[in-house]
């Protein structure tokens, strides 16, 4: 089985496994105690903190180990907002942040705070000027991921940190995806990361708070981890996480070159091998091992099952794989095609042969899914009216509304329109994306008795 979902969770690094087993024997005691076993546990904890701090590029006393990357984000945002409460209660985030950041923003709003969500372009990248324009006198904190977890686009963290610093505003960086490849540049204030993203054990995260940053831990605290992460430290997991981070960093420069070549191969060849595909994300400023593309007329869940049967584990941001039937917030913010979305994220050590096999299998898998969906009975016959057609796709889910649009589009003359009636949230994203891929005009969305009417004009 070829595991191509490292952006969700990387396989446990061999060094982490060895360190974990050793620390289970040596690091089980309470590091706060003065007896021999406690001192031994303290030495392991301190050495791990030093190693992790060196990888991050911070002081050891600025780094706290948490129970997960999500806990690090929640604690970091809450503590930074509380520390600057006298300044104001305004928070800035990008629209493509990890859900842990967006959930914190929602909680802040529910508690009476205000949030500005900065948009991104079609490549998933924020504009530095947008962050600068969002800053206000009452801004307490800004958040920006170093690289996106779904499409791999790297963000201009150093530039955003500079404008935030000039305004006296702290910047929290979610570095979960990029930290294995190198330290985050720029004058940021807080940083979070998660060990299972770089081959460490799950249940271990990092929270870094720079000296001089106003920070007030929220909730009950104790004397451990500078009062920022209450509870007994999981020393074996911490030791394994630090060992894995050091190991992947030692391999990073060489492995980044190799994985970048493999993902560039996928980016270049998938559109040639599979028709009606949109490759998304920044083509240059991106993580080495991540490539994402979306396929028209494809049910994402079915495609993932087909690839799984062929021996490939991938993930998707398609609404067709979601229990909520809504597309990924990242793809939605970018305004790109969401249906049939596939994210390939290669772990370190991925053989070239597995990538070639994936490229050989993919066209048949996509064709098979399209064949199953290609000739469904329309929910209602298309009704002709002068130079327009109406397609009733109410109650039909991704990718059926776009399939029905494509089937009747040739029946209208140049200058004519097709109105697609749909109550599927994905249609709001996928129909405009179809128009851009096909060179047709997306007129816009109109109100309807049920759902909405998406109007497309034929221009060629």
Instruction: Report, as residue numbers or ranges, the catalytic residues.
Output: 320
Give the DSSP letter string of 90-154: EEEEETTS-HHHHHHHHHHHHTT-EEEEE---TTS---HHHHHHH--TTEEEEEEESB-TTT-BB
Residue recorded with tokens 């190991």: 247
- Residues paired with residue 421 on neighbouring β-strands, in sequence order: 392, 453
> 364: which 2 tokens?
């048949």
Q: Helix crossing, 352-373 with 300-309: angle to 10°?
A: 130
Compute φ and ψ for 53, nearest 5 degrees: -65, -40
- 149: nearest Cα among 204, 97, 95, 72: 97
Q: What is the spatial distance between Cα 167 and Cα 335, in angstroms, rounded to a whole number?
A: 31
Rounded Cα distance, 109 and 96, in Å: 18
Rounded to 5 degrees, what are φ and ψ at 256? Answer: -60, -40
Q: Where are the beta strands (DSSP E) in 16-119?
A: 63-66, 90-94, 114-118
């Amino acid at each position: 089985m070829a595991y191509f979902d490292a952006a969700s969770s990387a396989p446990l690094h061999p060094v982490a496994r060895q360190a974990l087993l050793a620390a289970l024997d040596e690091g089980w005691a309470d590091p706060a105690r003065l007896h021999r076993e406690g001192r031994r546990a303290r030495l392991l904890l301190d050495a791990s903190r030093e190693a992790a701090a060196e990888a991050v590029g911070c002081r050891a006393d600025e780094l706290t180990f948490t129970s997960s990357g999500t806990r690090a984000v929640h604690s970091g945002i809450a503590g930074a907002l509380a520390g600057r409460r006298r300044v104001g209660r305004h928070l800035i985030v990008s629209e493509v942040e990890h859900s842990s950041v967006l959930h914190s923003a929602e909680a802040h709003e529910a508690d009476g705070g205000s949030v500005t969500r900065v948009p991104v372009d079609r490549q998933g990248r924020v504009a530095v000027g947008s962050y600068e324009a969002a800053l206000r006198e009452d801004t307490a904190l800004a958040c920006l991921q170093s690289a996106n977890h779904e499409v791999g686009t790297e963000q201009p963290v150093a530039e955003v940190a500079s404008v935030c610093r000039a305004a006296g505003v702290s910047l929290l960086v979610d570095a979960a995806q990029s930290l294995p490849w190198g330290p985050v540049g720029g004058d940021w204030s807080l940083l979070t990361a998660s060990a299972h993203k770089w081959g460490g054990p799950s249940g271990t995260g990092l929270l870094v708070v720079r000296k001089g940053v106003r920070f007030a831990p929220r909730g009950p605290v104790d004397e451990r981890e500078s009062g920022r992460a209450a509870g007994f430290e999981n020393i074996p997991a911490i030791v394994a996480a630090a060992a894995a981070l050091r190991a992947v960093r030692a391999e990073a420069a060489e492995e980044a070159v190799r994985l970048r070549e493999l993902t560039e191969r996928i980016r270049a060849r998938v559109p040639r091998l599979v028709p009606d595909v949109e490759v998304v994300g920044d083509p240059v400023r991106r993580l080495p091992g991540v490539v994402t593309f979306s396929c028209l007329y494809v049910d994402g869940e079915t495609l993932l099952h087909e690839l799984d049967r062929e021996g490939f584990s991938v993930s998707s941001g398609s609404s067709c794989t979601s229990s909520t039937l809504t597309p990924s917030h990242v793809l939605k913010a970018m305004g790109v095609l969401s249906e049939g979305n596939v994210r390939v994220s290669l772990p370190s050590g991925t053989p070239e042969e597995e990538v070639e096999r994936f490229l050989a299998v993919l066209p048949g898998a996509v064709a098979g899914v399209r064949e199953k969906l290609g000739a469904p009975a329309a929910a209602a016959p298309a009704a002709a009216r002068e130079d327009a057609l109406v397609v009733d796709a109410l109650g039909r889910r991704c990718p059926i509304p776009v399939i029905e649009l494509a089937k009747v589009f040739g029946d209208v003359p140049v200058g004519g329109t097709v109105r697609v009636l749909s109550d599927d949230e994905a249609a709001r994203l996928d129909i405009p994306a179809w128009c851009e891929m096909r060179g047709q005009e997306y007129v816009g969305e109109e109100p309807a008795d049920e759902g909405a009417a998406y109007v497309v004009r034929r221009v060629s």
